[in-house]
Amino acid sequence: MPARLLEGHPVAEEILRDVREQIRTSATQTPLTVAVLLGDDAAARSYARAIRKTMAPLGIEVRTVPLDDSMHEERFREIVTQLNRQADITGILALQPLPPGLPRSLPALSIAPEKDVDGITPVNAGRLLLGLPAIAPSTPAGAMELLRYYGIPVSGRRAVIVGRSPVVGRPLVSLLLAADATVTVCHRKTSDLADVTRTAELLFVAAGSPALIKPDMVRPGTVVIDFGVNAVGEHLVGDVDPAVAEVASAITPVPGGTGPVTNAILARNLLTLAKLQRS
């Protein structure tokens, strides 16, 4: 029996309906604005368009800040410092990849925590890990919303994460621990990946490796959340082989699974930042 498809769109719509309602009832407040820092990269541009498409119907302004390829670290810091100070900017998002030569961690170390719409700063990562109120990174937070929406229990269950990136795998540890899962993190140094993935009741894959997870690596009945977005020829494929759908009890499609929820969470995070800034 093929797996139930965990479509992201209805989850995103539910979240966005709530965000729209909250924005509407606080209509006298200043409008929300997100600054999107964007290098010369096709994937980043496509992601920026998707963000605009999510934000526009909510009346959220998306202000694109282009980063040119010759940009130095100092200039990047100046731009972010300026945005940190600007009262009309609610949140700041720096899309990866950054211009060549800029360290990947630069946004996490320059964006102010109170404008950190994607929860990438050490303060937010630490608050999340320690179980304190925090802005959670949109991609892993979206996965938790998918599970909630489809009524999939997490507490007490075995969760396995493949991939330990700062934006997905690591913050997902914090979110899953907060939800009382037993959590395992695997990565490229894991010597017996299939042995570990087969222990999962909930399997989260964010490895950036097309079709890495094969059917024999998944225990029948497992719920599979695929964060992978890999361009293979003209197609987008996930980190999970589509044949896994014959083994799993439920699986996210690629595209149309975790992606749409990510953008909805960004909008919700922006609203949370606006409330914090007003209080």
Q: Which residues bind its own copies (CB under 8 A)?
A: 105, 108-109, 121-132, 134, 155-158, 164, 166, 170-171, 173-174, 177, 180-187, 189-192, 196, 199
CB of 164 to its own copies, least distance (A): 6
CB of 186 to its own copies, least distance (A): 5
The residue among 2 and 103 lying less far from its own copies, judged by its C-beta, is 103
**How far from 234 is each of 230, 231, 237, CA to CA, in Å?**
10, 7, 10
CB of 187 to its own copies, least distance (A): 7
The residue among 8 and 163 lying less far from its own copies, judged by its C-beta, is 163
Question: Which residue, 109, 85, 86, is CA-closest to 94?
Answer: 109
What distance, in Å, lies between the first and last C-alpha atoms of the chain? 51
The residue among 51 and 160 lying less far from its own copies, judged by its C-beta, is 160
Environment class of residue 92 by beta-carbon count within 10 Å: exposed (0-12), middle (13-18) or buried (19+)? Answer: buried
On whether 123 is known to bind a ligand per the annotation, the reply is no
The residue among 54 and 197 lying less far from its own copies, judged by its C-beta, is 197
On whether 256 is known to bind a ligand per the annotation, the reply is no
The residue among 82 and 105 lying less far from its own copies, judged by its C-beta, is 105
Q: Which two tokens stand for residue 231?
A: 């361009």
Q: Which two tokens stand for residue 70?
A: 């010759």
CB of 236 to its own copies, least distance (A): 28
User: Which amino acid, one-letter code, is at 225?
Assistant: I
Q: Cβ atoms within 10 A of the Cβ of 112, count?
A: 16
On whether 127 is known to bind a ligand per the annotation, the reply is no
On whether 249 is known to bind a ligand per the annotation, the reply is no
CB of 179 to its own copies, least distance (A): 9
* CA–CA separation, 129 and 164 (whole Å): 14
Structural Rg of the chain based on CA atoms: 19
Q: Which two tokens stand for residue 115?
A: 């404008």
Angle at which helix 258-278 crosses helix 138-149, to 10 degrees, equals 110
- The residues pairing with 96 across neighbouring beta strands, listed in sequence order, are none
The residue among 9 and 104 lying less far from its own copies, judged by its C-beta, is 104
CB of 105 to its own copies, least distance (A): 6
Binding residues: 163-165, 229
Binding residues for NADP(+): 163-165, 229
